[in-house]
Structure 1
C-alpha cells in the first residue's frame, strides 16, 4: 500500500488494531488519515507524510524501514490476500485473549463467580458468531489439532466437606431429591461421594425408603464398602445433616461449572497455539470446547431458578444470533389409532 495507495480500497475491512506490531498499526492508521498526493509515483512525498504522522505513536519507524517494506513486497496485486492474513492473525489473538479471560474468571474469587464465568462465556460465544460470518467455512473446517483430554478433577478438603454435607442432608430430606435432577453424580469431585449420591438418587427414583440403614444396604449392594470405608464410616457420613440439600447441591454444581469453564478455556488456548489451524477451524473447535460448559450451564439455571446474570441478554442484544425455531405444535384432537383385533 506504500507503493500503490489505491490498494486501500480493495483490501476489505481492515483496521489498525488488527496489526500485532505497534509500528505497523500506527503506519496503517496514518495511511487511512493522510490522503495520497497525485505525485506519489514520482516523488516520495507520501511516505514522508506517513512517517511524520505515524512517528508520534511509533518512534522506531524510519524512512529506511518504509522503503524496506516496499522492497520486500512480492506484488501489490495480492494485497487483499495479505490483508486476510492480518485479519486471521488478529482473530487468533483475540480468541486466545477471550479464553484467557474465561480461565481467569473461573479461578478468581468473587461474590458471583458463576455469573462472571457465564458473562465471559457469552462474550466468547458472541465473538465466535462473528468469526463464522467473517471467515466462511471450507472443506477442511474441522479442527486438525486433537483436543487435549479434560484435566483430572481436583478434589479439595472444602469440596469433600460440601459433598459429605450434601449426602447427609439428602438422606435426612430425600423428598428434595426429585426436585434436584439438575445435580448429577459426575458433578461431585470424590468418586466415593459420587457413587453414594448415585445410590441416593437410585433409591429416590424407585420410590424406596431412604434413611441411613437403607443407604447402608444400597452401598453394600454396589460394593462400596471396604476396609478403609466400612459400615460405621458410612453411617457417620450420612447421619449428621446440616442445611438444605439444595444449598449444598448448588455449591457443588457451581464448582463443576467453574471447572468446566477452565477446561474449555485450556482447550481453546491449545487450538490457538497451532498456527496451522485456520480461523474457521478455531471457531468450530472452540464451539465444541464450550459444549460441556453449556450443558452444565443449563442445569445451573435450573438450580438457581433462572439466569444468574444478565450477560446472556446483553450479549444477545449486541449480536443477534439466528436460532432455528422448532415447528409449533398443531392444536387439535389427538390422533386415534384403530385397535388391533385380538385373536
Structure 2
C-alpha cells in the first residue's frame, strides 16, 4: 500500500508539471519544454511498470472530466485566419502541410475552411478565393457561419507563409493536448479504485494521444533534409572469362 500510494502521488506530480509547463507563457520555448516534460512522464511510467506486475483488466474506469477549453484568444484567431488566407494564396505550399489536420484548429469555421482547401488541392482543382468560396458554399458553411463577402475578405488578405502560421496553429494544438493528457492522468490518480497498473496503462493511453500530435509537430519544425544528387553510374567492368580466340591469317603458298 505504501509503494502504491507513493507511485500515485509521484504520478500526479508529473501530470501537474506537464500541465503547468503547457500554460507557462514565460517560457521562451514552451512547446519544447512541454515535450520534455512528457518525456519525463513517460520515463517515470516505464520505471513504475518495472515495479508493479501487470495483470489483465488493467484499463481504468474513471470518468474523465471535460477537456480544457481551446485557446480562442485574439492572437489564436488571427493566426488561424492568416493561415487560411496564405494557404489560399500559395496552394502549392499547402500540399506540403500534411502534418496539419482540421482537429488542430481552435475555431470550427477555420477547421471547415481548411478541409475545403485540402479537398481542392487533393482533387487538383484551382485554388483561389472564388473556388474556396464555392467549396465552402457547397459544404453549407455560408448558411450560418460566415457571409460570402466576409469570407472573400478573409481569403484575400494573406500575410507571411502557410508554413509559419501552420506551425503556430499546430503548436497551440500540441499545448492543448498536453493539458488534456495532464487532466486525464490527474483524474486517474484521484480515483482510489485504480491499481498502480491501471494508472500506468491509463496514463500511457493518454500519452499516446499527445505523441500523435507531437510527431506531426516535430515533422513540421524539423529542418528539411537537402536532397543530394545521385552519383553518376560508372561503366560496368567486363566480366572475367577466357581470352578471345584470335584466328591466324591464312598462309600464302610459295612457289
Q: Deviations over 1:97-152 (max 9, x none)?
A: 00000000000012111100000000000000111110011234221323334344
Counterpart CA distance in 2 for 1:304 and 1:199 is 24
Counterpart CA distance in 1 for 2:145 and 2:47 is 54
Name the residue aligned to 1:107: 23
Name the residue aligned to 1:174: 91
Name the residue aligned to 1:117: 34
Q: Is 1:148 aligned to residue 65 of structure 2?
A: yes
Q: Deviations over 1:305-337 (max 9, x none)?
A: 16xxxxxxxxxxxxxxxxxxxxxxxxxxxxxxx
Name the residue aligned to 1:274: 191
Name the residue aligned to 2:143: 226
Name the residue aligned to 1:92: 8
> Where does the alignment leave 5 or more consecutive residues of structure 1 unmatched?
1-84, 307-343
Q: 1:95 to 1:213 in 2, by over 3 A?
A: same
Structural mapping, 1:41-60, within 5 Å? none
Q: Deviations over 1:9-34 (max 9, x none)?
A: xxxxxxxxxxxxxxxxxxxxxxxxxx
Bigger RCO of structures 1 and 2 (CA < 8 A, at least 6 apart): 2
Name the residue aligned to 2:107: 190
CA RMSD after TM alignment: 1.3
Helix, strand or coil at the partner of 1:179: coil
So what's the TM-score if we normalise by structure 1?
Answer: 0.63
Counterpart CA distance in 2 for 1:274 and 1:171 is 48
Counterpart CA distance in 2 for 1:168 and 1:142 is 44
Counterpart CA distance in 1 for 2:122 and 2:214 is 24
Counterpart CA distance in 2 for 1:141 and 1:193 is 39
> Where does the alignment leave 5 or more consecutive residues of structure 2 unmatched?
224-255
Q: 1:223 to 1:93 in 2, by over 3 A?
A: same
Q: 1:211 to 1:134 in 2, by over 3 A?
A: same
Helix, strand or coil at the partner of 1:294: helix
Counterpart CA distance in 1 for 2:172 and 2:55 is 38
Counterpart CA distance in 1 for 2:129 and 2:157 is 10
Runs of 4+ in 1 over 2 A off after TM superposition: 146-154
Q: Compare 219-228 and 109-118 and name the one that shifted more.
A: 219-228
Counterpart CA distance in 2 for 1:124 and 1:138 is 22
Q: 1:235 to 1:129 in 2, by over 3 A?
A: same
Name the residue aligned to 2:210: 293
Deviation at 1:170, TM superposition (A): 0.4
Q: Given the alignment, which residue of 155, 177, 185 partners 1:238?
A: 155
Counterpart CA distance in 2 for 1:183 and 1:115 is 18
Q: Is 1:157 aligned to residue 36 of structure 2?
A: no
Q: In 1, are the aligned partners of 2:4 and 2:196 still within 8 Å (CA)?
A: yes
So what's the TM-score if we normalise by structure 2?
Answer: 0.84
